[in-house]
Amino acid sequence: MVEEANFCPSKEAIMKPILQLPPMTCQRVREIDRMAMDQFQMPGIVLMENAGRGAAECMDQIAPEGSVLILCGKGNNGGDGFAIARHLQLAGREVTILAMAPTDELQGDALIQANITKAAGIEIQVLGEAPAKECLPIADIIVDGLLGTGAKPPLRGRYVDVVEAANASSVRRIALDIPTGMSGDTGETGEPTFQADHTLTFAAPKIGFAKRDADRFTGEVHVISIGAPLALLRQFSV
């Protein structure tokens, strides 16, 4: 039986690429994902694992204490959430997931991450009929892994009451990639939009974050590397 180490993981700085990309549109960031996969043979799941681990390490710096509830949408933004859950559990954090859909409705990289998270014994609750404000699991921090660059505003279906319930709870809130309800390209925000204290955005800041008072919803923005090679970053830094 392996003794559980009782030291805190050291807080060494998170490895940052030497090249920080300029703000760009969602479409352009998705081109980075696409080129990393097609031109540099990086499987999407590797990009997602890098995103999840990088986001969890950033959380270890900005929100090192407390239990975490991760809201997972049906797409790869949710996939990031499933990956983050595993790394937070490894760091000794109490983690619960509230999924917008059952695992068998997921596909691709998100399904792979959800299956790993399930196998890891991390609790995955699926949103039921009850209003979100009645069934949102209690936690010290809520992470928004609902919608990212694949969002097509306005919010549809249960995403509305889940975001409203998250905003109504007086806890720390962290958005993954883009606060759900905000357009990454224009910074326009719908009613509701996830109100984050921090946004962990992948690969590059989104141009919409520069809109006046967008920071009311993004909070402090942190760029998380997805491990795309320097040669690829150079093609997008001009």
DSSP 65-98: SS-EEEEE-SSHHHHHHHHHHHHHHHTT--EEEE
Instruction: Select the binding partner of residue 144 from K ion, ligand NPW, none (C-beta < 5 to 8 A, by kind).
Output: K ion
Report whether 76 belongs to an annotated binding site.
Answer: yes
- C-alpha 219/C-alpha 209 separation (Å) is 10
For ligand NPW, the binding residue among 99, 226, 228, 233 (CB under 6 A) is 226
- Let me know: does 190 contact 154? Beta carbons within 8 Å: yes
**Residue (of 177, 153, 157, 15) closest to 84 by Cα position:** 177
Number of H helices, E strands in the chain: 8, 7
In the complex with K ion, the residue whose CB is nearer, 9 or 108, is 108
- Interaction between residue 51 and ligand NPW (CB under 6 A): yes
Report whether 99 belongs to an annotated binding site.
Answer: no
Which residues are registered as beta bridge partners of 144? 71, 175
Which two three-digit tokens encode residue 29?
């960031």
Stretch that binds ligand NPW, among 58-66, 77-85, 116-124, 134-142 (CB under 6 A): 77-85
- Residues 158-197, one symbol each (x = binds ligand NPW by CB under 6 A, - = not), give -x----------------xx--------------------
- How do strand 198-202 and strand 141-145 relate by DSSP bridges? unpaired
- Residues of this chain that interact with ligand NPW (CB under 6 A) are 33, 44, 47-48, 51, 73-78, 80, 109, 147-157, 159, 176-177, 202, 226
Which residues here bind K ion, judged by CB under 5 A?
144, 175-176, 180
User: Known binding site: residues?
Assistant: 76-80, 144, 148-154, 159, 177, 180
